[in-house]
Amino acid sequence: MLKTRIRKGEVSFSKDDLDFRCPNWEVPPYIVDSLRREYKTTSNGKLSIISDEKGNLRYIIKLTKEDRAVNLVNRLFAKVLQIAFKRLEA
């Protein structure tokens, strides 16, 4: 369906990033929202969106070691904040 790059959670359609796109195909909003939420700190990753024989879509992202580390730290920090706020509310 699509093979391109993701930058700061946004699907890139720039000529330099886009490797393949099915004609007239658009990324569904639920995938766009998920990518924005989960990969907003990703500076540069390889994004593939594929479809199985039933039409179910899924995406695969390959990140650099640096981006994997940044994403891990951000997720851990978010968890710590969530726990801290719950304790403050109690």
User: What string of H, E and C letters represents the secondary structure of the chain?
Assistant: CEEEEEECCEEECCCCCCCEECCCCCCCHHHHHHHHHHCCCCCCEEEEEEECCCCCEEEEEEECHHHHHHHHHHHHHHHHHHHHHHHHHC
Q: Using the predicted structure, report yes or no on whether residue 17 has a pLDDT greater than 90.
A: yes
- Domains of the chain by residue range: 2-89
**Can you tell me the mean pLDDT for 51-72?**
90
pTM (global) more than 0.85: no
Pick the residue with more confidence: 43 or 60?
60
